[in-house]
Amino acid sequence: MATIFVVAAIALRPLIPVDETRYLTVAWEMRQSHDWLVPHLNGEAYSHKPPMLFWLINLAWGAFGEHAFVARLVPAAFLPISVWLTARLGGMIGGKATGDQAALIAVGFLVFVVSGTLVMFDAMLTAACLAGLIGLFIAADGRRLAGFGLFGLMIGAGLLIKGPAGLIHLMPAALLAPLWTARRQNWAVWYVGVIAALAIGIGIGLAWALPAAHAGGPDFARAILWGQTTGRMVNAFDHARPVWYYLALAPLLLLPWSLSRNLWIALLDRSREPGSRLNRLVWIAAGGTVILFSLVSGKQVHYVAPAIPSLAIGLALLMARRRALPEPAFGVATFLVGALLVLIYPLDLLHETWPPYPFAIGGLVTMILSVIVWKLRAMPATAAAAAVASIFTGLHTLAVLGGLALYDASWVTPYLASGINEKEVAVVGSYAGEYGYAARLDRPVTVIAPEAARDWMASHSDGVVVQAWRHSPALEATPVELHPYRGGMLGVWTAASSSPVEPRDASASR
């Protein structure tokens, strides 16, 4: 099922700015410059993320061609891998049936599936973290060399995938091992093994970071070795959220399982028999992730997605000890999501120029599929997965019909691609790589302030200017093409900009 999610997402959904377009542009610039050590965005060293994703995308491009499908498949392929590892870890703790159930529960979390199909780092980091937890399990089972070796390698992989965030997912379970290990341990030996694994992981990370810091210059070195980590943890320069952020969003993050009566009965039932101590491993891993990220200044919804498989294993272990009750709420919730999509335009719930019909059709598809979810209510895990699949299908139906046209800037690329080696390209305001890979640009664009746009255009008669704005454009001339975009407008000016152009309906811009 996870593989179907991946293929459907890549085939039906456009690249979503700014994250997906930015990461593909960084990978593209790495390919253009042949600088495999220091990632770049618009010609400048890019310190916000380590290079693992960009390396893997370039390996895939080298093998299969420079296609968007190939690049998008690289991170998304780790979603089914993560589901398989969930089954493996769940099987090691509670037996094969529990592992299989945990894998099915994992794909029944909407945030896990959606984040895992994006050109981002979450599915990759999830796979590394699950493999690291398997390493800890092996070490606790007595095979310390193999277990701590795997744990150390996965710490290193996590550092190269998303920096120190990987430690947040893995270290609580390692440090709190006395709470979950079933076998008697020599704790001095255990913590020596943890320190050794940590040294292996940090060594892997530094094997890239130190040469990259030397090659990228002082500012880049300071950012990757210190600034980005402290900036996100203590006083986030981006995505700063209060400490209660994840607690407030928990009902949404856990959908549809937050509506499960099986879950709440199991959690509140004080008469249940205690499970194996090993069961605590996944609860410590999931709970530690949420607690530590709550204390970190920078937060996003998808940051905690790698904790979902551990939570899924915990739920499978809980429900394995009791008879499952039917879950009618899953079908009802799916129907209501579809109804909301149908009503979102008549009720004017979106204050943008969104096309109505894709939302209505996507909502109707979701409502129809909710009948299947209702029919499966006697099998909670299957019903939850079906609910996610139904909502996923409805959302991608509206995407392919143009419902996400306001987030699709691909129409700009013919104007920019024609400028390769010929015309200069300027972006007014800010630029986050939205067009670099899409237009296959072979050199940086010029980022200019709005007040400089007129002079720049006057001095570049064959240039191309792109601007996204909410209030007014920087140039008085009518753009050669104009579309609604992300709550405002997106326009392109060239030397041919002369005649008035009416904004296109968003549904017609795909």
Percent of the chain at pLDDT > 90 equals: 53
Residue with the bigger pLDDT between 485 and 82: it is 82
Average model confidence (pLDDT) for the chain? 87
pLDDT tens-place string over residues 459-472: 887 888 999 988 88
- Same domain as 335, residue 302: no
Please give the average per-residue pLDDT across 42-52, as a whole number: 93
Same domain, yes or no, for 333 and 209?
no
User: Which of 22, 51, 76 is at the close of a domain?
Assistant: 76
Give the range of the structural domain holding residue 344, as residue numbers without chain letter. Answer: 328-407
Report whether pLDDT(300) > 70.
yes
Q: Are residues 50 and 126 in the same domain?
A: no
pLDDT for 298 = 74
Q: Tell me the pLDDT tens digit for each residue of 263-291.
A: 888 777 755 655 678 889 999 999 999 99
**Count: domains in the chain:** 4
> Mean pLDDT, to the nearest integer, of 140-147?
93
Instruction: Note whether 278 and 217 are same-domain residues.
Output: yes
Q: Cβ contacts of residue 188 below 8 Å, gap of 6+?
A: none
Mean pLDDT in residue range 327-350: 88
pLDDT in tens, 175-203: 999 999 988 889 999 999 999 999 999 99
Residues 304 and 227 in one domain: yes
The string of DSSP codes covering 464-484 is EEEEEESS--S-SSPPSEEEE
Q: Which ranges of 344-459 does DSSP label H, i.e. alpha helix?
A: 356-375, 380-398, 413-417, 453-459
Please tell me whether residue 365 adopts helix, strand or coil conformation.
Answer: helix
SS3 content of the chain, % helix, strand, coil (to 5): 65, 5, 30
Same domain (yes/no): 226, 375: no
| pLDDT at 501 > cutoff 90 | no
pLDDT digits (tens, 9 = 90+) for 86-129: 999 999 999 999 999 999 999 999 999 999 999 999 999 999 99
Residue 123, exposed/middle/buried by CB under 10 A (0-12, 13-18, 19+)?
A: buried
pLDDT of residue 307: 93
Query: Dmax of the chain from CA atoms?
Result: 80
Indicate if 126 and 221 belong to the same structural domain: yes
Provide φ and ψ at 217, rounded to 5°: 95, 170
> In this predicted structure, which of 197-211, 280-294, 487-501 has the lowest mean pLDDT?
487-501
Give the three-state DSSP class for 466: strand
Residue 270 to residue 305: CA distance in whole angstroms: 29
**Measured distance CA(431)–CA(22) in Å, rounded:** 9
Give yes or no: residues 114 and 67 share one domain.
no
Select from 29, 52, 76 the last residue of a domain.
Answer: 76
Q: How far is CA 116 from CA 77, 120, 121, 407, 498, in A?
A: 9, 8, 8, 19, 44
Distance CA 505, CA 510 (A): 10
CA atoms within 13 A on the CB side of 296: 26
Question: Domain check: are 38 and 155 in the same one?
Answer: no
Closest Cα partner for 295 from 240, 250, 233? 233
Kindly state whether residues 333 and 288 are assigned to the same domain.
Answer: no
Judgement on whether residues 103 and 247 belong to the same structural domain of the protein: yes
Examine the fold and report which residue of 56, 76, 96 is the final residue of a domain before the chain moves on: 76
Q: Rounded CA gap, 344 and 305, in Å?
A: 27
- Match 């015309």 to its residue by tokens: 423
Which band of pLDDT confidence, cut at 50, 70 and 90, is reported for residue 352? low
The CA angle 26-75-297, to the nearest 5 degrees, is 70
251 and 216 in a common domain: yes
